[in-house]
Amino acid sequence: MRIVWMVLLLLNLTWADSDYEEEEHKGVHIPYDMRHLDLSEGQSKEIYRLLVEYRKQRRKLHENYERLERRSVKLFAQDRFDKEKYLQGQLRIKEKFLRIEADFLERLHRILDAKQRKKFIKDLKEWEFD
């Protein structure tokens, strides 16, 4: 859910009103705000597409997780709890999540230049992947 809010906030800030005065808001840092990276128009568009795709992948993964939860309830309701089936399902979902996250970060890394990546490292903690 945090990622959804992050994407919405990022989209809002990316295409925010152009009357924003930098000096008036100097020192204010909003989480997930990428303005301080000085993105080119091309980079902004690429990141937008990347975030849309990432969001779709996360939504699909969430749907898979909900199915897994229903299966876990059924497993627990049985006379004998199958720990291995439970672990396999949980690990499979976690692995998919990590792959989606790693793909996202790899593509973001390619979009940003070295200077922008250095600035973004400070923000990475705010980009909580859960």
Residue bearing tokens 């990428």 = 34
**3-21 tens-digit pLDDT:** 656 655 565 655 554 444 4
Closest C-alpha to 33, from 57, 54, 8, 10:
10
* Chain centre to alpha carbon of residue 107: 12
**68-89 tens-digit pLDDT:** 888 888 888 889 988 898 898 8
Q: In whole angstroms, give the CA distance from residue 50 to residue 76.
A: 38
Residue 129: what residue type?
A: F
Residues 4 and 34: beta-carbon distance below 8 Å:
no
Q: What is the pLDDT of residue 29?
A: 36
pTM score over 0.85: no
